[in-house]
């Protein structure tokens, strides 16, 4: 029973480690890049739908 608990602990710990690595390595930089591009995009005074 000890080995099953230890294996479960390692499984959960490794899943958390890889999820943290994905979030810090992919998700956060993507989120920051998309946010910066959105903020730097020039604003339009009137949208195409409003001009008609």
What global pTM score does this model have?
A: 0.65
Look up tokens 């390692």; give the residue.
Answer: 10
Query: Is residue 11 domain-resident?
Result: yes
pLDDT at 47 over 80: no
Domain extent at residue 35? 2-39
3-state secondary structure of 45: coil
Q: Output the six-digit token pair for 5.
A: 């608990």
pLDDT at 22 over 70: yes
d(CA 5, CA 11): 10
**How many structural domains are present in the chain?**
1
Query: Is residue 31 domain-resident?
Result: yes
d(CA 35, CA 25): 16
Query: Is residue 18 domain-resident?
Result: yes
Q: Output the six-digit token pair for 24.
A: 């810090």
pLDDT at 18 over 80: yes
């Amino acid at each position: 029973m000890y080995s099953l608990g230890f294996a479960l602990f390692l499984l959960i710990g490794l899943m958390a480690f890889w999820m943290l690595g994905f979030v810090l390595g992919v998700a956060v930089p993507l989120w920051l890049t998309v946010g910066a591009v959105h903020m730097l995009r020039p604003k339009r005074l009137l949208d195409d739908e409003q001009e008609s």
